[in-house]
Amino acid sequence: MKKDQVFEFFRRLAEANPAPETELEFGNTYQLLVAVTLSAQSTDVGVNKATRALFRAVQTPAQMLELGEEGLKAHIKTIGLFNSKAKNVIALSRILVERHGGEVPADRDALVELPGVGRKTANVVMNCAFGAETFAVDTHIFRVGNRTGLAKGKTPLAVEKQLEKKVPQPFRVGAHHWLILHGRYICKARTPECWHCPVIDLCAYKPKVLEKGARKAA
């Protein structure tokens, strides 16, 4: 995808959704970190259902430590891998209290040192909480980047590096939200809904699905 096409790609997505946001529910930066950590291999909808009651009771890492691992498990037992996630959330909460004064650091390197926090999670927190120009490449962004020709790469990191290189201002802060939402609701994994895609003419994907109810070409 050429430079002017990349600009037009994001211009159209921005026109349709001027203020994109994560679909995870949270009240502060710590809750965002917890929610993103819990969302690995889970849906935002499922995480939100589990965290609504949790976040009414827990707003800080100190409160999470008071709740304890078993108490946390009771809240998130509907989420996949809840045992290991609970262990990580308690561990990262302890580190935040002991090393960061109970605050979430606005630094990606410090974030990835926390248990259960990888580069993608750190990028989401940096972007959503601190307005950093980061690109959190999940399965949706990886698919959209490769399928459309916007940012091709064999690994999430490779796609991230392409996005860092190609995404222009003023779209850099919102880019990963637009791409996630586009992949979640239009450029779906099994059958992309090309018939109502706002960037269909910019997309390099050839077997487009142009009618609702049709199947993706083999």
Single out the catalytic residue among 73, 85, 138, 166: 138
Predicted pLDDT at 218: 46
Predicted pLDDT at 216: 60
61: closest CA among 25, 27, 24, 90? 90
Single out the catalytic residue among 73, 120, 152, 161: 120
The per-residue pLDDT for range 17-32, each reduced to its tens digit, is 999 989 999 999 999 9
- Rounded CA separation 146/27 (Å): 34
- Rounded CA separation 195/45 (Å): 26
Determine if residue 128 is labeled as part of a ligand binding site. Answer: no
Determine if residue 197 is labeled as part of a ligand binding site. Answer: yes
- Which residues have CB under 8 Å from 123's CB, separation 6+? 108, 132, 134, 135, 136, 137, 160, 176
Predicted pLDDT at 153: 96
119: closest CA among 31, 174, 51, 37? 37
pLDDT band at 160 (very low <50, low <70, confident <90, very high): very high
The per-residue pLDDT for range 121-157, each reduced to its tens digit, is 999 999 999 999 999 999 999 999 999 999 999 999 9
pLDDT, mean of residues 97-107: 96
- Rounded CA separation 63/98 (Å): 14
pLDDT band at 215 (very low <50, low <70, confident <90, very high): low
DSSP sequence for the chain? --HHHHHHHHHHHHHH-SS---SS--SSHHHHHHHHHHTTTS-HHHHHHHHHHHHHH--SHHHHHHHHHHHHHHHHTTSTTHHHHHHHHHHHHHHHHHHHTT---S-HHHHHTSTT--HHHHHHHHHHHH--------HHHHHHHHHHSSS--SSHHHHHHHHHHHPPTTSTTTHHHHHHHHHHHTS-SSS--GGG-TTGGG---SS---STT-----
The per-residue pLDDT for range 35-79, each reduced to its tens digit, is 999 998 888 999 999 999 999 999 999 999 999 999 999 999 999
With a pLDDT cut of 90, the percent of the chain lying above it is 90
- Catalytic: 138? yes
pTM reported for the whole predicted model: 0.89
The per-residue pLDDT for range 7-20, each reduced to its tens digit, is 999 999 999 999 99
